[in-house]
Structure 1
Amino acid sequence: MFGRGTKRELKSATATTAEMFGRLNLRIVHGGAATLHSIKVLQPKQVRVDSVDNHEKTKEFMWRRSARLAKVVSRKLAAAVKSMLQPPPTA
């Protein structure tokens, strides 16, 4: 959101990247089960920004915010890995 009062307008942009790098640390316990220890995703090197106005300031703003993309990706991956590593329910 930019502006104040009645002149407030919403600007949006989409940032995409082809690849991201990171490290996933798992621990193996005595029973052979794996548990997630830590996950770290790095900021993407190249980000393509698509926006309606296609302005340089929009691209710069999205690049500065791309570190937050890494945090979101690491949270999503952590949730996915934890659900995959849970032991099957016993009946």
Structure 2
Amino acid sequence: MAREMTLVENVNHPGKTERVDAVKYAATRAAMLRVLPKKPPGMTQHEMMTAMRNALSLETFPGTTTTWWTKTVQLDLEAKGFVVRDPTKPLRWRRA
């Protein structure tokens, strides 16, 4: 049986899309919008990865795949305007 797929964008490559597993995308998106704060200062990359590792099910995301899914969804949500990148050092992300 074929998996349901969804298209994701990448803020670093406008106009380019990739197909990814829709169930894993939806789970990662929901978790990210839950863990990212709305107000500055947001989360650093390390803070976001740690929070997402704790938020995602190990059954759905075995091993180290949480890092790939977190970054993929973060770039997609950033491209779509749901997440913003603050130009701080280090960079920080938050919900729009």
TM-score, normalised to structure 2, is 0.33
Which one scores higher on RCO, CA 8 angstroms, separation ≥ 6? 2
Q: Which has the higher helix share?
A: 2
